[in-house]
Amino acid sequence: MFDRCYVCARMLNTVAVTLLAGKASYVVLLFGALLLGIQTTLLRAEDTPQLLTPELGEPLHPSDIENYEITIFPNGKNLPEGQGTVAQGEVLYQTQCAMCHGKKGIEGPAARLAGSDGWFSFRDPLRVLRIRKHPVLLISVGSMWPFATTIFDYIRRAMPHQAPKSLNNDEVYALTAYILHLNDLLNTATQLDKHSILEINMPGKARSVIAD
């Protein structure tokens, strides 16, 4: 029913045509070989032999996708308009976030937002229990995350845990500002928006290496 080898057939055709052309002269043969090389490369890149598929994808229009393009990139792509302050964020944090992340963003049980990563203080009498019960508290947003844009991205798509996507853009900027402030990365006077968020230099960035 389907011809699995239609691409192969096309390649053979190309070879035949090129060889015929090559008969004319040595120069043409060389040119033909070069052409064949280029043609083969193109085929490999774009036309890898594969099964025919029904190609049932429908056009996705800009209006279909605009409300779903929520991924914020480190260069600021997709950051929305809006702004928020540390003070606004603190109020929101205490009502929306503190019950899981702790009043200071370090107590858990949910992921640690502030402070250095690593073990809890050896003077903490509950250290072993805390580690065993809440391993995610070993790492902190403030010390590990390389870009502040990720804080905005994740709060907006996934937080608060019981009601994800319920916060508006101003609220997300305010909460991002407060978490940055908990890490001494934003002073109380600065308003966070799509421009100032790109100025934040996260400590996790300088520590980053990319795996092989």
Partner 1 sequence: MKKTSVKAVAGNGLLDRRSFLMSGIALSASCSLGPLAASASKPGGVSSQSISESFPEWMKVPGHAATEYGQPSAHESQVRRHLQKSAPETSIFSIWHTPIENQRGIITPSGLHFTVNHNGIPDIAPQRHVLMIHGLVERPLKFDVDSLMLYPMVSNIHFLECAGNTASNAVSLTSLDQSAQELFGQISGSEWTGIPLKHLFKEAGIKASAKWVIAEGADGGSHSRSIPLDKLLDDAIIALYQNGERIRPSQGYPMRLFVPGWEGNLNIKWLHRLEVTDQPAYTKDESGLYSDILEDGKIQRFSFHMDVKSLITHPSGRQLLPEKRGFYEISGLAWSGYGKIKLVEVSADGGKTWARAHIESPILPKSLTRFSMPWRWNGTDAILLSRATDEAGRVQPTRDQWRAQHASYSFNHYNGIQAWHISSSGVVENCYV
Which residues contact partner 1 by CB under 8 A? 48, 50-61, 64-65, 68-75, 99-100, 108-111, 117-119, 131-136, 138-141, 144-147, 149-150, 153-154, 157-158, 161-162, 164-165, 204, 207-211
Least distance to partner 1, CB of residue 57, Å: 3
Classify residue 76 as left (phi > 0), alpha (psi -120 to 50) or beta: left
Least distance to partner 1, CB of residue 105, Å: 14
* Rounded Cα–Cα distance for residues 152 and 155 (Å): 5
Q: Which is nearer to partner 1, 71 or 187 (CB)?
A: 71
Least distance to partner 1, CB of residue 26, Å: 34
Q: Which is nearer to partner 1, 37 or 164 (CB)?
A: 164
> Is 133 buried (19+), middle (13-18) or exposed (0-12) by CB count in 10 A?
exposed
> Is 180 buried (19+), middle (13-18) or exposed (0-12) by CB count in 10 A?
buried
Contact criterion met (CB below 8 Å) for 85 and 191: yes
Q: Which is nearer to partner 1, 22 or 172 (CB)?
A: 172
Q: Which is nearer to partner 1, 18 or 110 (CB)?
A: 110
Residue 160: cis peptide before it, omega within 30 degrees of 0: yes
Least distance to partner 1, CB of residue 31, Å: 26
Q: Which is nearer to partner 1, 104 or 157 (CB)?
A: 157
What are the start-end ranges of the E strands in 68-161? 83-84
